[in-house]
Structures are given as C-alpha cells and as structure tokens.
Amino acid sequence: MIQFRPLLETLLAGQFICPVSAPEHYKKLQDIAIREAIDDYLQPLNRRVASSDDESVYFLAYRDIDNNERDLLKQQLSVVMSSLLPLLEWLTYVQEVQGSDGALSAGDTLKLQELILKTEDNPSLRQRLQALATDKFFNSQADSVDAQARQIAKRLVEHGYLLQPHKERLYFQVTGKIDYLIELVRFIKDEENIPLSEEQVQEDLF
Amino acid sequence: MANDFSDKHHVGSLYEVGVERLALVGKHAKALMQGYLQGEVEQEALSEQAARKLIAARVLYQPDDSLGYKLRQPVTQLIAAMVTDENRRQINADVADKLTQIKARVESFREAQRGGDYVKAELQLQLIHETVHDLTGQFEEAIHSLWHRLNSNFGFVSSLADKIRENSRAQGQIQRLIAGLALVDFNELIEFAEGHAGLRKLLVTKLQVQLNGHHGSLLEVQKRLVELMGRFREQQARSLLVMNMASFLRQHPNFMVGDYSYRSQVPRLVNQAPAMPIAAAVSLDQRAQQPLVVSLVQQLYKELQLKASVQQATSNSEQVSVQQKDQEVEARQQQLKQDTEHFFLAALDSPTPCSALDYLVEQQLEWPPEAWLFQVIGEYNSLPRAQQQLFRFQREEAKAHVFNELMIIHDITLAYVAEPARQRSA
C-alpha cells in the first residue's frame, strides 16, 4: 500500500480524481485490481472508491451508512446546494463571454485574462460578474473586474473545479468535478421532477 | 442527340467556344467571385459588352433590368466545389438519370457497331466512359464534401443549433446517396456489356469496385455523423440543463432537495465521504524514537530563539538602518558625481577626444557602464552654456534594430575646443 500513499492521501482529503486534476492517480484507479486493493485497505475507515456514472471522476464514498453518516452526507449536500446557483451562474457567464454553445466541461481551458478583457468591454457582463463575485460563495469585496475574476477563480480552484497549472499564470483547466456537478444537477432535476423545458428559456436576468 | 456529337466539325467548334468562354470566366474572375460572395455582381463592375458576353455564355443572368447580375447555378456550384464552401456546395444524388443515359448510349453504340460506323461507335464508347466517370465522380464529390464537413466539425456554421441542422441534412444526403447506389443493378449492366470485353470491364468490374468503395465510405461517414450528432446533442442538453436549472433556482430561492441521505438506498452521487484529516504526532512511548524527539525539540527551540532575537533586533534597528541606508546612497551619488567631474577635467587636458568608457576602464572605476554614461550626459547638460561650448560632445549611437528606430548610446567622446567662438561661426 505504501506505493499508493499519495493517492490515498488525496482521496482521504476528500478530493476528486480525474484525468485533469491527477492523471497518474486517475490511471491507477482505472485498474480494477488497484481499486479493490484500496477498497480493502480503506474498509476499517468505512470508505470505498466511488465514481461518477461514466467513471470520469473517482472519489471516496461511505461503505456502510448509518445515522451518523447520513447526517454528514446531508450536511455535505446542503453545502453543495448552497453553492449550486453561483456555480451554474458562473458557467452560463463563461459560456456567454466565450460565445460558445456548450457549457464548460472537463479538460477545457480557461484564459482568465481573456474573460477579464471581454467583461470589461461589456456593461451587462460586468454587471453579471459583479453580482456573481459578491455572492457568499465567491465572497469578493473588490470593485474591479480584474480582482473579482481572480477571486472567483481562486475559490473555484479551492473547491477543486478548476486547476491552475502555473501559480503565476492566469490560465486554468476545468476538472472532472464540474462534470460531477452537472451529473448531480441532472439527478436532482429528475428526482425532484423539476419541469425544465427542453427549449431555451428567455433570460430575464437583471 | 448522338448524331450531333458525331459531327467532327461540331466537336471542333465546341472546343473553340469552350476555350473562349472559360477564358471569359477567368478574365472576369474578380467580378464573378464578388457576385458569388455578395449574391450579385453590381452593374458597374462589368462593362456592357462583358456583361453581354457573360450572359450569352450562360455564366450570368439578369433577373430584372434594374438589378445586378446573378451567377447561374452551375457556376455557383463550380466555385463552391473548387473552394470547398460547404455552405453552398450541393450534392447531386440523382443516379437514375445517369443510368438511363448509360443505357441509351450503350444502345447507340451497338447500333453504330452493327451499322459498321466505327467512328461513331468509338465516340459513343468514349461518352459511356465519361458518363460512368460522372456517376462515380458524383459520389466521390459527395463523399469529399461530407468528410470535409465532418472533419471541420461543421465549422462553417457557428451555432450549435445550426450544426445539428447541418448534421441532419448531411445524414439525409447520405441516405439519398445510399438509395441511389441501390439503383445500380449489376445484372442489367452485365446484360448491357454482353459480348464486349471493354464494356464489361468498364460497366461491371471497375464500377462495382468503385461503388463498393463508395458504399463503404458512405457508411463510415454516416457512422461518424451519428456519433458527432450525439456529441452535439449532449453538449446542447448540458448547456440547456445548466441554464434552465440556474433560472429555476433564481425563481425558487427557497428550493430544497429531498433527504437523499436518509433513503434506504443512498443515491450513488450523494454518497461522497467528507475529507478525513490525516494528522500525526510524535510518540513518547517508544524509547527508540526518543533521540529523534529530543533533537526535534532542540531544533525547534533554536529556531524560536533566533526568531525572537531577530524580531527584537529588527524593531530596534529599523529606524537607524533607514537613516544609514540614505546616507550610504547619498555618499555613492556624490562619489559618482566627483568621478565624472574628473573625467571632464581629463578631457580638458587631453589633446585628443576622450572616450567615457575608456576612461572608466583606465581609472578602474567600479560604476556600471550604463550608469556612468548616464551621469556623464547629466553632468554635461548641467554645465552652464558657455562651459558646454568648451567641449565637443559626441554620442556614439546606433539603432537598436534594423526595424527599430530607438537609438542606443554605446559611448560618449568629449574633446576640448580651444576657440569655441570660431567653431560656432563655422
């Protein structure tokens, strides 16, 4: 097990492992034998390796679920839910700035400087970024577009949705955790029977 | 119709007319291309005579006297195929007509053979070759266009919705092409070629190989198009989901999800275990590790002590060191100024012009050359005008780069001028 120590530490720290965030760990976890060995090792900690439906991300799940675990999972979900709207708003904001058709997904790159430049030139985007930045989740008190965008990116890196390969360079990679989030959104939509029309809704933002 | 073509004279004039008209297209290429892109050629772009010729050549037509000229469809198609403009390129899936044409020509060929008209038979055979070539070329062209669209990810349209529409249009084309291929009845073709080796080779063996190849390619393109369509739809669904969920949550700020974690079967996605702190501490119960612990504690003490003393020292000496620093800087500046003055004096004494950099090296001064030159220029500029005239001040400079007009000073030479007044008048 000693050779898997970095991998185990990453998993136990509650992080998601995808081809972007940790390609080597991800490759190991694709091997079912390694996954089983890790599962055995984690058994006393009541944890096992879980994955999203398409196995694009791995993370740790509880093996047996009792009341204590249920409470913790509920807490965790409520944290995710409180960050859901700002995250989705951020995704639509980026999509609009980039003028692209699809929402960001794992592996996409994000050039912050480009986002900042385009936002500065557009009052409606500036307003959207401002509203996003002051949200509790992103929690920016800054006034400038530059500082707001940086703070948002920083928080997204902290939460594992983005990866910053070079500390001093403002370019980011989208991790598999975004895909997990979208999967969760789809799950919630189905579970709660949320009537989301198939057609694009008219954006009545501000 | 076949009789027309057998006329040698006619073929000759066809050649001439064709060459003349192709040259005409070439001559007006710019105006025609502008017409292709803008939908019409402006009347001013062509002389009346040129326009008349192009209309006679069936390259252009004028739907209305008051409007500009438009390109005829075959010309537009030719350009679209030449520049692979997938927005305009059309696919022709009409196989039935080609097959009828082949049949008619085979009959005409047989007649000519029976009648002993070998020239005509030869010409018909050539026409059959061409028709078969057209038939396979039509598929080749279509397949090329389809691959091109596929490989460029339908990049010629911008929005995802348009890409999806273009993709389904391409799939429709493939279906028509495959249906067209099915119209080719090889039993019939074998009958046509009965008793003629050349025809059999052309209509049966070669055509079959080619059409089989096309069929395979079409199926491959179709498979890829369906895959791509799946990706497009997924992308579209994803972006719709994000947008619609965001607007739902905006409209329902108090929305709560169910208690998923209290279900008998906790959903897979929700079961994500929180982080577990991985901490360790020194163990005091194992004698073997004690020396390690002792050394760690000692080291820690040293570090703490050092930190404390440094902190104290810095707080005391901060004020002092700032002043000291200022003094140091000032002294150095004074020294630099003095050295420069010495250089000016040396220039006064020297019979030949003095180089500032040479002086720096000769006197073994420690100043960086750049700072030195800067100070020399400053010193010169601060001299009173009368004194400035005692010196001939010359910059040795060069452009930073062939394309950069920035002048970089490499050195400065100073020469004493004994009689400044005369120099000025000269």
- Residue A199 banded pLDDT, cuts 50, 70, 90: low
Query: pLDDT tens track of chain B, all 426 residues?
Result: 444 444 556 667 888 888 988 998 889 888 888 888 888 888 888 888 888 888 888 888 887 777 788 888 888 888 887 877 777 766 666 788 888 888 899 999 989 988 888 888 888 888 898 988 888 888 888 888 888 888 887 877 778 888 889 899 889 888 888 888 888 888 888 888 888 888 888 888 888 899 999 999 999 999 999 998 998 888 888 888 999 999 999 998 888 888 888 888 888 888 998 888 888 877 777 777 778 888 888 888 888 888 877 777 666 666 666 677 777 888 888 888 888 888 888 888 888 888 888 888 888 888 888 888 888 888 888 888 877 888 888 888 888 787 777 888 888 888 887 665 444 443
Other C-beta atoms lying within 10 Å of the C-beta of residue B192: 21
User: How many Å apart are CA B331 and CA B329, to the nearest integer?
Assistant: 5
pLDDT of residue A203: 44
Please tell me whether the overall predicted TM-score, pTM, comes out greater than 0.90 for this model: no
Residue A183 exposed, middle or buried by CB count within 10 Å (0-12, 13-18, 19+): middle
The length of chain A is: 206
Give B413's strand partners: B355, B394
Residue recorded with tokens 């062509």: B46
A18 near A177, Cβ under 8 Å? Answer: yes
Measured between alpha carbons, how far apart are the two ends of chain A, in Å?
54
Residue recorded with tokens 């400035």: B388
B66 near B92, Cβ under 8 Å? Answer: no
Q: How far is CA A47 from CA A27, A76, A183, B274, in A?
A: 20, 16, 22, 10
B189 near B263, Cβ under 8 Å? Answer: no
User: How many Å apart are CA B102 and CA B128, to the nearest integer?
Assistant: 6
A1-5, A84-88, B278-282, B401-405 — which one is most confidently predicted on average? Answer: A84-88
Give B414's strand partners: B354, B393
| DSSP category for residue B408 | E
Instruction: Give DSSP secondary structure letters for B3-29.
Output: HHHH-HHHHHHHHHHHHHHHHHHHHTH
What's the farthest any 2 CA atoms get from each other in chain B?
Answer: 123
Residues 6+ apart with CB under 8 A from B197: none
User: How many Å apart are CA A188 and CA B257, to the nearest integer?
Assistant: 7
User: How many Å apart are CA B183 and CA A152, to the nearest integer?
Assistant: 61
pLDDT at A204 over 50: no
Mean pLDDT of A184-196: 88
Q: Which of A72, A76, A88 sits opposite B246 (nearest CB)?
A: A88
By C-alpha distance, which of B168, B301, B187, B276 is closest to B225?
B168
**Residue A47 contacts B, CB cutoff 8 Å:** yes
Residue B110 exposed, middle or buried by CB count within 10 Å (0-12, 13-18, 19+): middle
β pairing state of B354-355 and B391-401: unpaired
Angstroms from A202 CA to nearest CA on chain B: 9
CA A17, chain centre distance (Å): 11
Nearest residue on chain A to B253, alpha-carbon basis: A85
Q: Which of A73, A91, A103 sits opposite B270 (nearest CB)?
A: A73
A58 or B179, higher pLDDT: A58
Residue recorded with tokens 């119209």: B183
- Chain A / chain B CB contacts < 8 angstroms: 138
B389 near B424, Cβ under 8 Å? Answer: yes
- Residue A70 banded pLDDT, cuts 50, 70, 90: very high
Angstroms from A92 CA to nearest CA on chain B: 6
**Residue B195 contacts A, CB cutoff 8 Å:** no
Q: Dihedral sign for Cα A193, A194, A195, A200, please.
A: negative
User: How many Å apart are CA A93 and CA B160, to the nearest integer?
Assistant: 17
Contacts 24+ apart (CB under 8 A), B58-65: B59/B21, B59/B24, B59/B25, B59/B32, B60/B32, B60/B35
SS3 content of chain B, % helix, strand, coil (to 5): 70, 10, 25
Q: Which of A15, A69, A88 sits opposite B245 (nearest CB)?
A: A88
By C-alpha distance, which of A42, A64, A57 is closest to B276?
A42
pLDDT at A161 over 90: yes
Q: What tokens does B168 get?
A: 């389904």
Does the beta-carbon distance from A13 to B278 stay under 8 Å? yes
One-letter amino acid for residue B106 of the chain? V
CB contact residues (below 8 A), chain B span 210-239, against chain A: 235-236, 238-239
pLDDT of residue A206: 38
B186 near B212, Cβ under 8 Å? Answer: no
For the ranges A6-10, A180-184, A202-206, which has the lowest average pLDDT?
A202-206
By C-alpha distance, which of B363, B366, B364, B378 is closest to B409?
B378
User: How many Å apart are CA A59 and CA A51, to the nearest integer?
Assistant: 6
pLDDT at A64 over 60: yes
User: How many Å apart are CA B260 and CA A12, to the nearest integer?
Assistant: 23
User: How many Å apart are CA B185 and CA A72, to the nearest integer?
Assistant: 71
Question: Three-state SS for B63?
Answer: coil
- Residue A47 banded pLDDT, cuts 50, 70, 90: very high
Mean pLDDT of A10-29: 93
Residues of chain B neighbouring A92 (CB-CB closer than 8 A): 242-243, 246
| DSSP category for residue A202 | P
Residues 6+ apart with CB under 8 A from A177: A16, A18, A21, A57, A159, A160, A161
User: How many Å apart are CA B268 and CA A61, to the nearest integer?
Assistant: 8
CA B315, chain centre distance (Å): 59
CA B181, chain centre distance (Å): 37
**Sheet strands (E) in chain A:** 47-51, 58-62, 109-111, 162-163, 171-174
Nearest residue on chain B to A58, alpha-carbon basis: B272
Give A106's strand partners: none
Q: Which of A12, A186, A199 sits opposite B278 (nearest CB)?
A: A12
Other C-beta atoms lying within 10 Å of the C-beta of residue B198: 11
By C-alpha distance, which of B362, B361, B423, B370 is closest to B392?
B423
pLDDT at A29 over 80: yes
pLDDT of residue A57: 94
Q: Which of A69, A75, A95 sits opposite B239 (nearest CB)?
A: A95
Q: What tokens does A89 get?
A: 């708003």
By C-alpha distance, which of A137, A157, A161 is closest to A16?
A161
